[in-house]
């Protein structure tokens, strides 16, 4: 269940709905992404603005979806380090379950050297903590990683609101109520919101882009997987993410981000 305040749920009533079948017409598996972060207190104001020219994904009576993610990496977290070291081509390997539809997929996300996000996926019967050899060919085809070296690294669960613009050309996802699961602990982030505009090609003049600028949301390149690794793996290299962690602390006032800076031995 989501912890989103009831007043926000009522705010969602102003949106016209779009079905899952309709939204699949703009799946945008090859796209340009722009992310914004803000405190959940800003969400109601943003939703009021976004309701003017967008539609909301509705499945039966629900306009908020729950996502379950399981990420895999090498034992030395090489996929995370690819991202941290800004490699031009980098990958994420995850399983994602959509509890509402009871569908699970093995997904590969690639950020290529043209700064575009490519996503490929393979249907599974259920979530697993191990990579089966029967999936090796799919992984090898879509990612530069030895699938035999992949192990369960992190679980990331969250709630999501999905919008499309009136022209049905762009999508916007709004994620909140984050829960990061590690081998020995769980961390919850209830005040952070990460929004992502997904476009066929970047356009600063789009309704979504203009709305986020007007609302003064912070444009930030942020990966939920990398954020979870920084929070849950003390000692991991993370110099490039220090300014982002401090920005998240300033936005949310949640000491978890500042504690992460200290646990990595950074004196600011």
Model confidence over 223-266: pLDDT tens digits?
999 999 999 998 899 889 999 999 999 999 998 988 887 765 54
Taking only the tens place, the pLDDT of each residue in 12-26 is 999 999 998 898 877
Residue 1: is its pLDDT beyond 60?
Answer: no
Above 60 in pLDDT, residue 124?
Answer: yes
Question: Mind listing the pLDDT tens digit for each residue in 101-112?
Answer: 889 999 999 988
Percentage of the chain lying above the pLDDT 90 cut: 70
Comparing CA positions, the residue from 59, 32, 4, 67 lying closest to residue 208 is 32
Residue 204 tokens, joined: 């600063």
Torsion of CA 110, 76, 84, 200, to 10 degrees: 10
Tell me: pLDDT of 220 over 90: yes
Please name each of the domains of the chain with its CATH number: 6-232 (3.20.100.30)
Q: Which residues contact 178 (CB under 8 A, 6 or more apart)?
A: 156, 157, 158, 188, 189, 190, 192, 224
For the stretch 183-214, pLDDT in tens is 778 999 999 999 999 998 899 999 999 999 99
């Amino acid at each position: 269940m989501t912890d989103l305040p009831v007043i926000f749920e009522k705010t969602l009533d102003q949106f016209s709905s779009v079905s899952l079948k309709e939204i699949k017409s703009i799946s945008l598996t090859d796209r340009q992404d722009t992310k914004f972060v803000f405190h959940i207190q800003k969400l109601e104001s943003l939703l009021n603005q976004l309701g003017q020219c967008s539609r909301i994904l509705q499945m039966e009576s629900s306009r908020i979806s729950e996502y379950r993610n399981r990420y895999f990496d090498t034992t030395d977290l090489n996929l995370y380090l690819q991202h941290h070291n800004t490699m031009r081509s980098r990958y994420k390997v995850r399983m994602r379950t959509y509890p509402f539809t009871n569908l699970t997929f093995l997904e590969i996300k690639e950020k290529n050297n043209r700064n575009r996000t490519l996503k490929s996926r393979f249907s599974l019967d259920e979530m697993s903590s191990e990579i089966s050899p029967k999936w090796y060919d799919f992984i090898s085809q879509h990612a530069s990683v030895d699938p035999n070296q992949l192990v369960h690294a992190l679980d990331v669960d969250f709630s999501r609101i999905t919008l499309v613009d009136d022209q049905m050309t762009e999508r916007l996802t709004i994620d909140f109520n984050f829960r990061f699961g590690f081998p020995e602990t769980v961390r919850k982030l209830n005040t952070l919101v990460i929004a992502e505009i997904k476009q066929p090609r970047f356009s600063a003049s789009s309704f979504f882009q203009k709305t986020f600028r007007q609302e003064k949301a912070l444009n930030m390149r942020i990966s939920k997987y990398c954020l979870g690794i920084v929070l849950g793996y003390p000692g991991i290299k993370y110099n490039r993410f220090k300014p982002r962690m401090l920005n998240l602390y300033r936005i949310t006032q949640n000491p978890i981000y500042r504690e992460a800076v200290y646990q990595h031995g950074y004196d600011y």
